[in-house]
Amino acid sequence: MAKKVRAFVAVETPPEIRQAVSRLVKKLDKAGAVVNWVEAENLHLSLKFLGDIDMTDIAEIYMRLKRDLADFSPFEVSVNRVGAFPDLERARTLWVGVDDVEDSLGSVFDQLETSLASLRFRKEARRFSPHLTIGRVKDSHVAMDELRALMNEHLEFAGGAMDVEELVLFSSQLERTGPVYEPLARIPLGGSD
């Protein structure tokens, strides 16, 4: 029986973006709200959660995505804005936004969905909304007014720009101390390694 691993496809976040977001999180944490903050080293731009996959399927996923993303050139996105899902008043997931003026990321996401659907992965029902999750609210009754006030102060957060040159197939292992992400394969845009 093949070993299973929880997997997802994402864009890695460079150190300077992680540091900027980490400084923001320290400011937001002063509200005293009960939030599980994402560790800086775990910040990434999720594109597709695959669920549990067989380790033996990694090579096929890699080859399909490498082929299907070969026509996409690397591009730049910017990390800015602060927000929450479903919204600031009923915040459950806290995020910083990712802007892509050319919508290259949206095009890559659409191709990723098509490619993975051909490998029997279900397409997303929700509209793609690029963001970096920075925290998850654990108790919506503690210091949420204070957190909303701080988030409103930082709505115009400017985290910087980052180049998207590859996608990464990650494994996700849940530990007592939080998730541990391990790169399984790097899929270059433009087809080169």
Contacts of 97 (CB under 8 A, 6+ apart): 79, 80, 81, 82, 83, 130, 131
CA pair distance 165, 11, nearest whole angstrom: 9
| Per annotation, catalytic residue among 9, 10, 44, 45 | 44
| Per annotation, catalytic residue among 131, 135, 167, 168 | 131
Known catalytic membership, residue 44:
yes
Closest CA to 147 of 14, 34, 59: 34
Q: Is the peptide bond before 179 cis (omega within 30 degrees of 0)?
A: no
Enzyme catalytic residues: 44, 131
